[in-house]
Amino acid sequence: MRNPLSKKIIEIEPSGIRKFFDVANEMEDAISLGVGEPDFDTPWRIREEGIFSLERGRTFYTSNAGLQELRNEICKYLERKIHIKYDPKNETLVTVGGSEAIDVGLRCMLDPGDEVLIPQPSYVSYLPCTVMADGVPVVIPLQYENEFKLTVEDLEKYTTPKTKVLIMPFPNNPTGSIMTKEDLEPVAEFVKEHDLYVISDEIYSELTYSTQHVSIASLPGMRERTIVINGFSKGFAMTGWRLGYCCGPEAIIEQMIKLHQFAIMCAPTNSQYAAIEGLRNCEEEVEEMRKSYNQRRRFLMHEFARMGLECFEPFGAFYVFPSIQEFSMTSEEFATRLLNEEKVAVVPGTAFGECGEGFLRISYAYSLDDLKEALGRLGRFIQRLRNER
Amino acid sequence: MDNLRNEILRYLETNSRVNLGELAVLLGVDEVKVANEIADMEKEKIICGYHTLIDWDKAGVETVTALIEVRVTPQRNQGFDRIAERIYNYPEVHAVYLISGGYDLLVTLEGKTLKEVSRFVSEKLSPIESVISTATYFILKKYKDHGTILVPKKESERMLVTP
């Protein structure tokens, strides 16, 4: 019998961290700091709108690109937030989460052999999606010394004549790092000089704590070379609704709509109706969540300082990324022992790329009470490790 | 009101037992500053007290809560204030509000039994000269009180670890 599988899919290595995830998810009565989604319920007015749309019998396909009403609201929102005007008819596509936009975007932009710059540590999907789109992933390891920001020096090292797309994963999962306007400007210059395109994954854009989020697409000359990806999962606490979107130049979006139409048809209808309510009336709820995250973030940084655990102060998303290099063990060893000995689940930094070795991703999408309990245990564990030596 | 005060109040409104050092960490400001602001707001009566929200049902203590609509004739020179005072001075009265709409005062009352509450209405409240009429509603179940949902909350269904 012939091999049913493509070489491409076999070539993609299963995440080495999978085993750890399976063990952790089976562990009973463990406290987790390992989740990549908000702990808040979706704001009630959004849920209520979702229910109402079902009651009204809005259970049909929408247009492929998404409800026009929703696309209008998305464009108004982006103009408010990142100060870019997109045409809701031709430059906006509603997708099944930001993840679909990453996949479809790469598939529409790459020819075989085109190189994609992927700064890591970062979310797990950029690399496999690049491979499936016949692109060549080129990992840029970000440096702790730079607080895991992307610099022009990094870009210079990894850019070749074949480089076509740069992924910009900021605010960053797992490091919590953000790129300010000043950080972005030299990167934008580099991108223009080398005639690259940018896929800017801004799914955590609502969650920044020092300055307002700045999109690279808002810098001069960048709008025409950038696809902005965003969605409702993080800022609006809507992970399970599977709703995201992307905006960019018509030439690219038009083709993305084509692929989306064949592969997906349209994003879930009732999620789309619910999201309209989110964009219109949930500014306050989002702000309240942001405030809570920020308090927890400060609390964690304070506790790390007390424990003497090295960590740069991150100003985005809901993660902190402390270093465990002083304990001379791998991230996975550390996380496995922490899970077994203190029943606290954290994610080894290596889940997000090899350069995450020596770090842990700790999520603060948990109540303060949970965080206190978990950090108490973490502190005890660290003390024990230090005593062992 | 300045921002820090606002943030302190928002926090205290639902977590009055917080320790000051911790609150200072959460808000990212100096502990002394937080302590001073709170002391000032106590003096200025912006912070009027620290209370505990109790589910008496769960504590196994029988209580009856009633909402009473009261229509009154306002008194010359004193409007509703004087009559309100005559009502709120009773310790079993929890709250007295002046209300717009079909009646004037809304009184919430807590008693041990139905009888106790109805005795209060018939013996204390109704006989006050300027009270024209009352209507009493007994609370059957408290779902949410002071912004806190009292019915049991569902367990979180999030997975333990996700990327």
Sign of CA dihedral B84, B87, B90, B94: negative
pLDDT at B25: 96
Quote the tokens at residue A115: 């190189």
- Interface probe for B, chosen from A27, A298, A304, A332 (most Cβ of B below 10 Å), is A298
CATH number for domain B3-43, candidates 1.10.10, 1.10.3470, 3.30.310, 1.25.40: 1.10.10
Quote the tokens at residue A292: 């809570």
- Cβ-Cβ contacts under 8 Å between A and B: the total is 49
pLDDT at B2: 72
> What mean pLDDT value characterizes chain B?
92
* Under 8 Å between Cβ of A129 and A169: no
CB–CB contact A24 B160 (8 Å): yes
Q: What pTM did the predictor assign? A: 0.93
In chain B, domain spans:
3-43, 64-142
- Out of A27, A298, A302, whose CB is closest to B160? A27
The string of pLDDT tens digits covering residues A147-181 is 999 999 999 999 999 999 999 999 999 999 999 99
* A295: closest chain B residue by CA: B26
B163 touches chain A (CB under 8 A): yes
* Under 8 Å between Cβ of A270 and A240: no
CB–CB contact B26 A298 (8 Å): yes
Quote the tokens at residue A54: 């079902």
Residue A366 contacts by C-beta under 8 Å, 6 or more apart in sequence? A32, A33, A35, A39, A296, A374
pLDDT at B1: 52
In terms of CATH architecture, what is B64-142?
Answer: 2-Layer Sandwich (3.30)
Q: For helices A269-281 and A68-82, what crossing angle results, to 10°?
A: 40
Residues forming beta bridges with residue B67, ordered by sequence position: B108, B137
pLDDT at A386: 95
The string of pLDDT tens digits covering residues B61-100 is 999 999 999 999 987 777 899 999 999 999 999 999 999 9
Distance from CA of A35 to the nearest CA of B (A): 5
* Under 8 Å between Cβ of A35 and B159: yes
* Under 8 Å between Cβ of A282 and A314: no
A32 touches chain B (CB under 8 A): yes
> What is the fold of A7-42+284-381?
Aspartate Aminotransferase, domain 1 (3.90.1150)
pLDDT at A194: 98
In B9-48, the residues whose Cβ lies within 8 Å of chain A are 22, 25-28
B144 touches chain A (CB under 8 A): no
* Under 8 Å between Cβ of A364 and A187: no
pLDDT at A16: 64
B101 touches chain A (CB under 8 A): no
Task: Tell me which amino acid residue A389 is.
Answer: R
Instruction: Sort strands A244-247 and A226-231 into parallel, antiparallel or unpaired.
Output: antiparallel
Distance from CA of B11 to the nearest CA of A (A): 10
Residue B125 has pLDDT above 90, yes or no: yes
A319 touches chain B (CB under 8 A): no
CB–CB contact B162 A37 (8 Å): yes
pLDDT band at B101 (very low <50, low <70, confident <90, very high): very high
Residue B107 has pLDDT above 90, yes or no: yes
In terms of CATH architecture, what is A59-281?
Answer: 3-Layer(aba) Sandwich (3.40)
Q: Report in angstroms the alpha-carbon separations of A300 from A22, A210, B161.
A: 26, 16, 19
* A372: closest chain B residue by CA: B22
Its ipTM equals 0.85
Question: In whole angstroms, what is the distance from residue A293 CA to residue A198 CA?
Answer: 29
Mean pLDDT per 10-residue interval, chain A, length 389 residues: 93 78 85 93 97 97 98 98 98 98 98 98 96 97 97 98 98 98 98 98 98 97 98 98 98 98 97 98 96 97 96 97 96 95 95 96 96 96 93
pLDDT at A214: 98
pLDDT at A80: 97
CB–CB contact A298 B158 (8 Å): no
Average pLDDT, stretch B111-126? 94
DSSP conformation class of B6 = H
* B162: closest chain A residue by CA: A35
Domain with CATH 3.90.1150.10 in chain A: 7-42+284-381
pLDDT at A131: 96
* A305: closest chain B residue by CA: B25
Distance from CA of A386 to the nearest CA of B (A): 26
The rounded Cα B143 to chain-centroid distance in angstroms is 15
Question: In whole angstroms, what is the distance from residue A136 CA to residue A127 CA?
Answer: 9
* B156: closest chain A residue by CA: A39
pLDDT at A21: 84
